[in-house]
């Protein structure tokens, strides 16, 4: 199947979740929060027990359940981690995705009546006393479609931290977003990537004195509902990972990216013609491989039984990032997804037409990730679960 997105500027999202925010301040210096944390949540990750415990399939669904299913049939967006952000005065909260692969903040508005907006929380500009429309159109094209709207200024709240921010109010959205159950995206990358050169939220957090360091990090938990997952603004939290962070130069300019120098599956080496430019993307669930690699990877790993019975016998995946090896066991990379009303195990590796890789949430669930924009580097360490 094809990659579930990749895009010109940004991405997609996941399940609508109720999240209560706690903003925790560390090392308060001169009134500036050196580090602040916000919880994240996910509802899409299921244990293998869900597959084993479900009723036996009926004869009519049996063949569909056990036949090979293309990754295009699955909604991998359900596996992303979300948070609630407040817009306006008084604050109106909505579930958004923190996306390391884009730089714009946008939210669906009440004038969005497209299928992609159905059933989702919308921002009502008329109910905000601090709202100001800029009268400028906004259009962003994603792999799954487009969004259209207009730019506005208002107060935006991240837990107990409020900034003044320019963002998009979306009134038209592609039908490709219909199954995502999200209300918007908070882009976390560099301003050079932003449509209309809008100043991204993280940049404004620093400029407006809310945090002292131009960076953020993600701790994605494997616990039910993603309990304990956090986004950390302004640095990293050493209590959430093992040992020290290993840092790599960001080779992606406006994108966060590293060079993968080798890939092993079990004891087999995946042939690489050169270093593999690899985007590190919190807005993607899967690992995407170029077209000329995906077949080799899947053949080396082997077939995953839909009933999950052979997960424990599948080989480990090893990624060599500039001399440091990061491993994923089969239990790290095999996921449970719903298809035709039934749960089954699948490999969430997808084909990427361009000659680069993407590593997403699946990798970050095991490895705490520090996106250090200030020093143009990316750090990884194993998460404490």
Predicted confidence at residue 36, as pLDDT, reads 81
For residue 371, the cross-strand partners are 216, 378
pTM: 0.86
DSSP secondary structure letters along 247-266: EEE--STTS-EEEEEEEEET
What secondary structure does DSSP assign to 224-236, as a single string? Answer: GGGTT-EEEETS-
Q: Is the dihedral of CA 106, 110, 112, 117 positive or negative?
A: positive
- Of 156, 106, 65, whose CA–CA distance to 346 is shortest? 65
- pLDDT category at 175 given cuts 50, 70, 90 is confident
> pLDDT for 74-106, tens place per residue?
566 667 888 999 999 999 999 998 999 899 999
pLDDT at 58 over 60: no
pLDDT at 80: 83
The answer to whether the CB of 13 falls within 8 A of the CB of 94 is no
Q: What percent of the chain has pLDDT over 70?
A: 83
Q: Does residue 171 register a pLDDT over 80?
A: yes
Query: What beta strand segments (E) does 224-364 contain?
Result: 230-233, 246-249, 257-265, 268-270, 276-280, 287-290, 317-321, 324-328, 335-339, 342-346, 349-352, 357-359
Contacts of 224 (CB under 8 A, 6+ apart): none
Measured in degrees and rounded to the nearest 5, phi and psi for residue 198 equal -70, 140
Q: Which strand (E) or helix (H) includes residue 29?
A: none
Rounded to the nearest integer, the mean pLDDT of the chain is 84
Average pLDDT over residues 180-209: 93
What integer is the mean pLDDT of 239-265? 96
Summarised one tens digit per residue, pLDDT across range 290-337 is: 999 999 999 999 999 988 899 999 999 999 999 999 999 999 999 888
């Amino acid at each position: 199947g094809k990659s579930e997105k990749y895009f010109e500027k940004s991405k997609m999202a996941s399940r609508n979740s109720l999240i209560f925010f706690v903003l925790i301040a560390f090392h308060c210096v001169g009134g500036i929060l050196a580090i602040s944390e916000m919880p994240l949540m996910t509802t899409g990750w299921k244990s293998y027990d869900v597959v084993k415990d479900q009723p036996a399939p009926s004869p009519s669904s049996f063949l569909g359940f056990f036949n090979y299913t293309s990754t295009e049939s699955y909604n991998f967006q359900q596996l992303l981690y979300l948070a609630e952000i407040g817009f306006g005065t008084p604050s109106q909260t909505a579930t958004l995705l923190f996306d390391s692969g884009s730089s714009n903040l946008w939210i669906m508005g009440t004038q969005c009546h497209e299928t992609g907006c159905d059933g989702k929380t919308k921002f009502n500009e008329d109910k905000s006393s601090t709202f100001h429309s800029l009268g400028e159109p906004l259009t962003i094209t994603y792999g799954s479609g487009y969004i259209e709207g207009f730019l506005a200024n208002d107060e935006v709240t991240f837990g107990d931290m409020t900034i003044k921010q320019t963002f998009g109010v979306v009134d038209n959205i592609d039908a490709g977003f219909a199954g995502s159950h999200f209300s918007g995206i908070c882009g976390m990358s560099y301003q050079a990537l932003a449509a209309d050169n809008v100043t991204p939220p993280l940049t404004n957090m620093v400029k407006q004195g809310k945090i002292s360091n131009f960076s953020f990090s993600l701790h994605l938990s494997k616990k039910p509902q993603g309990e304990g997952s956090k986004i950390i603004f302004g640095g990293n939290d050493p209590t959430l990972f093992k040992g020290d962070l290993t840092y790599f130069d960001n080779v992606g300019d406006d994108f966060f990216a590293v060079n993968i120098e080798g890939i092993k599956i079990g004891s087999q080496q995946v042939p690489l013609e050169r270093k593999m430019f690899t985007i590190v993307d919190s807005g993607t669930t899967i690992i995407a491989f170029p077209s000329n690699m995906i077949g080799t990877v899947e053949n080396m790993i082997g077939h995953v039984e839909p009933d999950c019975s052979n997960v424990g016998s599948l080989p480990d995946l090893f990624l060599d990032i500039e001399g440091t090896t990061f491993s994923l066991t089969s239990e790290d990379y095999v996921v449970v997804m719903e298809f035709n009303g039934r749960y089954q195990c699948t490999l969430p590796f997808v084909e990427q037409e361009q000659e680069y890789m993407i590593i997403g949430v699946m990798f970050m669930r095991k490895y705490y990730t520090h996106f250090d924009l200030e020093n143009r580097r990316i750090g990884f360490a194993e998460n404490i679960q």
